């Protein structure tokens, strides 16, 4: 009778296991994880690429670094943090996802996210569509004038840009002024009816930050600081992220 023998080698070196442990709460213990599946229950990426947060975390804990780094699932995670909310151990899986993304060579990261991030770095708009501050100003003013004339009840509606001292500063999904400018108007109407003191900034108005999803910390920081500086320069009290 032949015998089935499983040979166990030395401890597998893992660069992820230590990161997993760092993401536990102070009183947490990875060994207490019962793989309850709560993290996977509400995850919108569960089942994609035959993966879910529970499986992903256990693979990291078991030192399966190579398999994780080759997986495309980390790029399917929305980092919405539902898994953190329901986890009894409060393990920050989205932070682990971010770290995994950052370990992939930048040029090998998803081309759509990479291209959008690089486009946002081309000018001060931080628009993933590459629209410049001048383009944005032109479109907003043109669309506003059109609706003021076509809808008399909104003849006094405003869509200010770089208004000094406004209470709110808003960003904008940059796809709308480039491809669907009429989609900006409903929000303007709500703000007008509510009597909100608001403004766009000509700089940093691009509302989507693909560099964050790309796990490019330096680019992410640049875009965030550009928007924050514009708000500070205008003296606005509240930054309203419409995205």
Q: Residue 148 is encoded by which pair of tokens?
A: 């003021």
Helices (H), 121-209: 133-150, 175-179, 185-194
Residue 11 maps to a domain = no
Copy the structure tokens of residue 200. Answer: 């766009």
Across residues 119-129, what is the average pLDDT? 95
Last residue of a domain, one of 62, 78, 104: 104
Q: Which domain does 146 fall in, by range?
A: 112-240
CA distance 100 to 181: 37
Instruction: Give the per-residue pLDDT at 243.
Output: 79
Q: pLDDT over 90 for what percent of the chain? A: 70
Provide the number of structural domains found in the chain: 2
Partners of 239 in beta bridges: 169
Mean pLDDT, rounded, for 1-10: 45
Q: Could you tell me if 154 and 96 lie in one domain?
A: no
Q: Rounded to whole angstroms, how far apart are CA atoms 229 and 97?
A: 29
Question: How many CB atoms are located within 10 Å of the residue 230 CB?
Answer: 24
Q: How far is CA 122 from the centre of its chain?
A: 19
Q: How far is residue 190 from each of residues 82, 157, 206, 236, measured CA to CA in Å?
A: 30, 10, 20, 19
Tens-digit pLDDT profile for residues 125-182: 999 999 999 999 999 999 999 999 999 999 999 999 999 999 999 999 999 999 999 9
What's the CA gap between 8 and 28, in Å, rounded? 29
Residue 171 and residue 131 share a domain: yes
- Structure confidence by residue, pLDDT tens digits, 64-94: 888 988 999 999 999 899 998 998 888 888 8
What pLDDT score was predicted for residue 231?
Answer: 97
**Lowest mean per-residue pLDDT among 7-11, 112-116, 120-124, 148-152:** 7-11
Choice among 4-13, 35-44, 72-81, 188-197 with the minimum mean pLDDT: 4-13
Q: What is the mean pLDDT of residues 7-34?
A: 62
Residue 146 lies in a domain: yes
Domain final residue pick, 49, 84, 104: 104
Cβ neighbours, 10 Å, residue 150: 9
């Amino acid at each position: 009778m032949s015998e089935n023998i499983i040979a166990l080698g030395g401890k597998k070196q893992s660069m992820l296991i230590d990161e997993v442990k760092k993401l536990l709460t102070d009183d947490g213990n990875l060994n207490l994880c019962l793989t309850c599946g709560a993290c996977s229950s509400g995850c919108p990426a569960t089942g994609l690429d035959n993966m879910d947060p529970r499986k992903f975390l256990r693979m990291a804990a078991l030192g399966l670094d190579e398999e994780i780094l080759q997986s495309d699932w980390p790029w399917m995670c929305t980092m919405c943090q539902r898994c953190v909310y329901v986890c009894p151990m409060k393990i920050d899986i989205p932070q682990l996802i971010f770290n995994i993304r950052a370990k992939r060579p930048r040029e090998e990261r998803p081309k759509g996210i990479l291209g959008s991030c690089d486009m946002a770095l081309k000018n001060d708009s931080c628009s993933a569509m590459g629209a410049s501050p001048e383009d944005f100003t032109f479109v907003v003013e043109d669309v506003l004038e059109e609706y003021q004339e076509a809808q008399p009840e909104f003849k006094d509606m405003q869509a200010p840009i770089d208004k000094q001292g406004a209470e709110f500063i808003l960003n904008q999904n940059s796809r709308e002024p480039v491809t669907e400018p009429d989609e900006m108007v409903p929000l303007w109407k709500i703000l007008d009816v509510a009597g909100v003191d608001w403004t766009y900034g000509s700089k940093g108005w691009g509302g989507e930050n693909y560099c964050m999803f790309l796990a490019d910390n330096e680019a992410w920081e640049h875009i965030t600081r550009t928007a924050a500086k514009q708000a500070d320069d205008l003296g606005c009290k509240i930054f309203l992220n419409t995205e």
